[in-house]
Structures are given as structure tokens and as C-alpha cells.
Amino acid sequence: MKLSSRTEYGVRAMIELAEAHGGGPVAVREVAEKQGISEKYLEQLFAALRKEGLIASQRGAQGGYTLAKAPGDIRVGDIVRALEGPIALCDCLANGEDDAVCHRMGECAAHPLWVKLQDGITSILDSTTLQDMIAGASGDSANDMGGNSEEESRDEQDLP
Amino acid sequence: MKLSSRTEYGVRAMIELAEAHGGGPVAVREVAEKQGISEKYLEQLFAALRKEGLIASQRGAQGGYTLAKAPGDIRVGDIVRALEGPIALCDCLANGEDDAVCHRMGECAAHPLWVKLQDGITSILDSTTLQDMIAGASGDSANDMGGNSEEESRDEQDLP
DNA sequence: AGTAAATCCTACTGATTCGGTAGGAATTAT
DNA sequence: ATAATTCCTACCGAATCAGTAGGATTTACT
């Protein structure tokens, strides 16, 4: 249960682009420096994000990257999937639907829990957009996975 | 976003013990065979589960493992933590509290989301007990396992 | 008492993933 | 032309993961 640096970096970088949205393209170097990420590594993450159509590139001098859509149209889930592939807690959930085939299917009492967990995760990640994040709140729109997240991260836009 | 085999195996094995709860101890070999897990590997997982007080062992012939508490008192979250350590999506969430110190904290717009995600995951894992899982075993039944109701896992009909 | 069945303990291993580096080709604003 | 930049692909060291190995210890059963 740990985020990969890939995901952490990717999301932070996308936030950076979101904040620059509307202006010109931003170079990898700039994002890497601001966020303290290896430039060459981030380059690779951007390649993946670009392949999935989340960002667009402008080559050559003064070039860089821009969001391919409005910040409100890019969900964190999209970023995670672009960087890590489909969110599938275990192989038997790869399809995401109930026709998924578990090799031990009939016997696996844990299966329903994994489904629930995966749905919960997906639903949180997909209900938060870049816009939500740069607005300073964790966007929790209509979606509360029954969690104890009653703690509405109010006005604490920047963390301690 | 993938469960380790460690977690998958551990939970499945614990379900096995839960189903045998009330009877005598169950040998590692038996669980390993039923669940298709390497015996020697499972042995190590059991060592961790035992260290955390989730299961108890009986050495020697006819020995084996039993749950250390009632199935309704063992949460999936406990199992995950015993096997993988504290659930912390990223280092800055290690404490689980808001005094967590992010090295880039002032600037990290993603932080509130990670907090929310981690809370969501924890809340699902901690609101489901072994009892919940074996109650809804074997497929069907509109699975509402361990809803976040916090109530359900109360009445355990222990075997004699 | 002897033996077989079991936990316990610790070390090793092979494969894979992860985070990062390296170097250079292609493109483009100035 | 040149400098800045994306793009592409290969490689690398360390860590983690899943599993193996071997044996010491404990205990029930006969």
C-alpha cells in the first residue's frame, strides 16, 4: 500500500502544468527543478502522459508541455492509469467487471472485499481533478466512499 | 496500485483459519495446500501474523495455528498492517496525522488527496473483519461486506 | 523412549521492478 | 547557425518480492 514515486512525481508535475495552464508550454527542466525530480526521469513520465493524451508537447526551443485538456477535465485517476496502467488490485480484478476470472474464484472469500476496495480507490481518484487540487481543496464532490473522511480539508490549502 | 502476494496470501490464509475457528489448530501445510500457496513462504507470513498477535501457534505434532481472537475481532486492516507494516501511501503520511512532515509540504497540492485516499483505504480495510468475509463466502449474495457501518461484525456465532 | 509431525529460525537466491542515468537524434524559435 | 528543447532507447544498481533450503526445537502419539 504505497504510492510509487512514479505516481507521486507524475501528479505533482501535472499540478505544476495545471498551474501554468493558459500560459505557454513549460519545459521539463523547469518542472523538474521546482518539484525536485530528476529531469531525465520526469521526461519519461511525460512521455507516458503524452501517449495517453493528457498532455501535449511543443518541440524545439521555447517548447515544453501543456495540459491537453482543461484542469477540470483531467482526473487524478487518469494520471495514475497513464503512469501505472489500469488500476487492478489483483489479477482477478483486471477487467474490473464481475466477469473477471479468478483462478480460485468460487473459493475466494476475499474477492468481494478487493472489489470494494478497488472501487473505493478508483472512485476517489476519479472524483478529483487537477482543478480541484490547485483550487486548494481535495475535491470530494459527490463521492465519499463511506469513509471517515468527515474531516473536510477546509481551508488548509497548504499543508504544514 | 497492486496488492502484494503477501497480502493476498495472508488474507486468504486468515480466512482459512477463520473457517476452522473453534476447532483445533490447523497446520501450515494444510492451509498452503488448500490455497495453493508455497508452504515455506506461508510459514513466514504466519510468523509475522503471530508476532502481531493475530494468530497463535501450537508447536509439535498435531500442532498448527489458530486465530488469536474471534473472527469478528480481526480486521483486514490488521492483517495488512501485520504483513506490510503501517499503511502509508507516502512517507509524508507515515504518522497518519496532520502533523506529518512533508519535505515539500508547503508546496504539495496533492497532499490532501493522498490523505483522503489513505483514509478511504484504511477505513474500508478496518471496517471489514474475517467474520464479515466468511459470512458472505462463496460468491453470490449481493455483497455488502463489512459496510462501513461499523456495526455488523458484532455477533459472532462461534462454533462450539 | 522413539518417532513423526509440526513450528520456528535464519540465510540464500533468482527474477523483477524501480528510480535513475546516459547519450544522442530530431525539431524549432530566435 | 545555434541553442533549447522534446524524443527515443538502452543500460544500470539497488531494492523488493516470492520462493527455497536446511536444520533446530517442540510435542503428540504409540
The reply to whether A151 falls in a domain is no
Instruction: Give domain status of residue B37, yes or no.
Output: yes
Instruction: Give the nearest partner residue to B124 out of A3, A107, A116, using CB atoms.
Output: A116
CATH number for position A39: 1.10.10.10
pLDDT digits (tens, 9 = 90+) for B118-140: 999 999 999 999 999 998 654 33
Name the residue facing A147 among B89, B109, B120 (closest C-beta): B120
Dig out the grid coordinates for A154 from the structure: 477546509
Which has the closest alpha carbon to B14: B50, B62, B58? B50
pLDDT above 90 as % of chain A: 68
The reported pLDDT for the residue numbered B106 is 55
The pLDDT of residue A35 is above 70:
yes
Which is higher by pLDDT, B142 or B68?
A: B68
Other beta carbons less than 10 A from residue B151's beta carbon: 9
- CB within 8 Å of A16: residues ≥ 6 apart: A26, A31, A34, A35
- Say if CB A117 and CB B7 are below 8 A apart: no
pLDDT band for B102, please (50, 70, 90 cuts): low
Q: Which of residues 44-63 of A touch B (CB under 8 A)?
A: none
| Closest by Cα among A90, A98, A92 to B139 | A98
pLDDT at residue B100 tops 80: no
**Per-residue model confidence as pLDDT tens digits over B21-54:** 999 999 999 999 999 999 999 999 999 999 999 9
A23-32, A59-68, A100-109, A113-122 — which is least confidently predicted? Answer: A100-109
Q: Is residue A55 part of a domain?
A: yes
Q: Does residue B159 belong to any structural domain of this protein?
A: no
Chain A span 4-23 residues with beta carbon within 7 Å of strand C: 4-6, 9
| Contact check, Cβ <8 Å, A156/B121 | no
Determine the pLDDT at residue A99.
44
Three-state secondary structure of chain B: CCCCHHHHHHHHHHHHHHHCCCCCCECHHHHHHHHCCCHHHHHHHHHHHHHCCCEEEECCCCCEEEECCCHHHCEHHHHHHHHHCCCCCCHHHCCCCCCCCCCCHHHCCCHHHHHHHHHHHHHHHHCCEHHHHHHCCCCCCCCCCCCCCCCHHHCCCCCC
Q: Answer yes or no: do A158 and B35 touch at CB < 8 A.
A: no
Confidence check: pLDDT of B70 > 50: yes
CB B123 within 8 A of CB B74: no
pLDDT band per the 50, 70, 90 thresholds, residue A98: very low
Please check whether residue A90 is in contact with residue B121, taking contact to mean a CB–CB distance below 8 angstroms.
no
Q: Which residues contact residue B38 at a Cβ distance below 8 angstroms, ignoring those fewer than 6 apart?
A: B32
Beta-carbon neighbour count of residue A24 at 10 Å? Answer: 11
Q: What is the pLDDT of residue B148?
A: 45
Residue A127 confidence (pLDDT): 97
Annotate A120-159 with DSSP letters as a single string: HHHHHHHT-BHHHHHTTS---SS---S-S-TT---S--S-
Residue B157's pLDDT is: 45
Query: What percent of chain A has pLDDT above 70?
Result: 76
Q: Is the CB of B62 under 7 A from strand C?
A: yes
- Is there a domain that residue A140 lies in? no
Number of structural domains (chain A) is: 1
| B149 is a domain residue | no
User: What is the reported pLDDT for A102?
Assistant: 59
A124 touches chain B (CB under 8 A): yes
- Look at residue A64 and tell me if it is in a domain: yes
Separation between the CA of B94 and the C1’ of D26 (whole angstroms):
39
The set of residues, in sequence order, having a beta carbon less than 8 Å from that of A150 and lying 6+ positions away, is none
B36 CB less than 7 Å from any atom of strand D: no
Interface contacts A/B by beta carbons within 8 Å:
145
Check: CB of residue A110 under 8 Å from CB of residue A131.
Answer: no
Query: Which domain covers residue A115, as residue numbers?
Result: 5-134
Over residues B62-90, the mean pLDDT reads 95
The arithmetic mean of pLDDT across residues B60-87, rounded, is: 96
For chain B, what is the mean pLDDT? 83
* Residue A66 DSSP SS3: strand
C1’ C2 / CA B59, Å = 18
Question: Would the pLDDT of A117 be above 70?
Answer: yes
Handedness of CA A19, A24, A29, A33 (dihedral sign): negative
pLDDT tens per residue across span A119-158? 999 999 999 999 999 986 444 444 443 333 333 333 333 3
Mean pLDDT of chain A: 83
The shortest CB-CB distance from B136 to any of A112, A138, A145 is to A112
Dump pLDDT digits (tens) for A64-90.
999 999 999 999 999 999 999 999 898
Q: Could you give the angle at the alpha carbon of B124 between the alpha carbons of A8 and B108, nearest 5°?
A: 25
B101 contacts in chain A (CB < 8 Å): 160
Amino acid at A13: A
Asked if B84 lies within 8 A of A1 by C-beta distance, the reply is yes
Degrees to nearest 5, angle at CA B72 with B1 and B75:
25
- The rounded distance, in Å, linking the Cα atoms of A66 and A50 is 10
Residue B33 lies in a domain: yes
**List of B residues 108-147 with CB within 7 A of strand D:** none
pLDDT of residue B159: 39
